Structure 1
Amino acid sequence: MKKNLLTKLAYLLFIGILNAPAFAADKSAPIAIPQVSDGFRYSLTPYLWAVNVGGDIAYKDRTLIDQNISTGELLSKLQYGGMIEGEVHNGNWGFAANLLYSSIQNSSSRMRGVVDLGSTTTAQMGIYNLTATYTLLSSKQAYVDALLGVRILSNDAKVNVNAQGTPLGTTLKSNTTLTNPIVGLKGRYRLGESDYFVPFYIDVGGGVDGTQLTTQGILGIGKAYDWGDLMLVFNDVYYQTKNGATTSNLNFYGAAVGVTFKF
């Protein structure tokens, strides 16, 4: 049911990019490219990201684990979640926050080496980008912000153990938080004189908490309306971490659709 709902919402947003009429009372012309001004500008973008997860763990360059989890598998275990991006600008300076949080539960977990009677695993994950921005370019055709900030990856896992020989109510917990500096560029390019534009985002970071490298890249298509924007993009977040001789690669990727409201 959750998968069908996500598919329907994504379809409606995609069709809106191509065909939907502006539904705001204001009849001013759409602005495909933001304009720098002395006053404050705000935007809020709720979005849906059809996340797939891929990863591997290697010891001394030998792969031990290689696994991929599809959007459908994640949705079947999703309890709740939220995805939103917000920005505020005053002149060339600004601040942006991109926040993703989800809670996933697997009620058919199994403890190895014992007779498991139905343990339950709950994983709560967040990816948070917090950045200061400065506008490098603002014209009728293009807009580019430089950004500097941090990306926080938080993963809290809890297992409610229900296994033979284990006391009732036993809970195992694991908490991991990676906080790394990032630097990058964000903006959009207008297609001709139309209301369509190409949004893009790229950053790179790492060097803290065992993270060798973390990157994020976004590329897609959008359409401006007088009330805001509709966008369809491909979003990819990558982590490479190292602990001794063990190297881990983790990749979150998939299509995303979002609606931007401007104030």
Structure 2
Amino acid sequence: MKMRFFATVLAGLAVIFPQIVSAQAAADDWSYSVMPYLWLPTVNATLNFNDKSVETKPDSYLDNLDFAGMLAGAARKGRWVIGSDLMYMHFSDSQSKVRAGGRLDTGGDIDLKALVWGVAGGYSLILEPKANLDVLAGFRYLGLNTEVNTNIIFSRSAEKDVNIWAGIVGARGRANFGDSKWFANGYVDVGGGSSAFTWQGVAGVGYAFDWGDVILDYRYLYYSQSGRKPIEDMKMGGPALGVNFRF
């Protein structure tokens, strides 16, 4: 009787154990995603050029955006994840205001090039087929080149380069709407460094396919620096459309 019981248990383990090992191995495999996307933000910034302040107001982002290139990617192994986000934008705006002392010029032209690169790694607190929540830590770099042209205050064009490194912490989540392929996603981070404060928020919806996702977001990015630093404040916000490939 005992031998039959042990034989039954061993037979059951022989069936179940390979499935457990296979599922664990699948969970521990690396998975990857790559998402090219287009973000069309308006820009509202106050920049300091020595004793002069340059302000650019949001207008039509399609008119002001000369070039944009964005790419995000991630790698996951079990509950551990690491990702990177790289974007380059070139804006030109004829509606900038240049102030020096009490004098105001509304005819300034501003040319702004921005490179934003972020890397963050983290751990999934929730990792389910229909929902996940990651906590993240990493850094974000902002490289900004600004050129201002006006004939009244500047005798010639003035140019400023800014490089800001900031450590960031944040969270990213995703949840399906019931049993459908539609889902909601969100991301938020906050950080600082180089006498700067920054935060970013993303919220949107997407639709899942077998090969990946199509995602429509609203993204907002903010920077400020204390004192008479080059960036008094900079706000960038607008819609983003991405195609996420999973493999």
How far does residue 219 in structure 1 lie from its aligned partner after superposition? 1.0
Q: Flag the 1:172–1:221 CA change in 2: closer, same or farther, 3 A.
A: same
Alignment of 1:239 onto 2:223? yes
What residue number does 2:159 align with?
A: 173
**Aligned-residue offset at 1:140:** 2.9
- Whose strand fraction is larger, Structure 1's or Structure 2's? 2
Length-normalised TM-score, structure 1: 0.68
Match of 2:188 among 164, 185, 202: 202
Task: Return the structure number with greater relative CO, CA threshold 8 A, min gap 6.
Answer: 1
| Partner amino acid, structure 2, of 1:81 | A
Identity %: 30
Aligned in 2, Cα 1:144/1:243: closer, same or farther, shift over 3 Å?
same
Report 1:41-80 matches (<5 A): 41-55=31-45, 67-70=56-59, 72=60, 74-80=61-67
CA-CA distance at 1:103 after TM superposition: 2.3
Query: Partner residue of 1:10?
Result: none
Unaligned 5+ segments in structure 2 are 1-25, 101-107
The separation in 2 between residues aligned to 1:260 and 1:228, in whole angstroms, is 5
CA distance 1:101–1:51, change in 2 (3 Å): same
**TM-score normalised by L of structure 2:** 0.72
Q: 1:105 to 1:68 in 2, by over 3 A?
A: closer
Q: Partners in 1 of 2:202 and 2:74 — Cα distance? A: 17
Equivalence for 1:145: 134
Correspondence for 2:73: 86
Aligned to 2:121: 132
Deviates more, 1:120-129 or 1:241-250: 241-250
Largest Rg, 1 or 2: 2
Q: 1:242 to 1:141 in 2, by over 3 A?
A: same
Q: Distance in 2 between matches of 1:245 and 1:176?
A: 9
Structure 2 residue corresponding to 1:248, chosen from 215, 232, 247 = 232
Q: CA RMSD in A?
A: 3.5
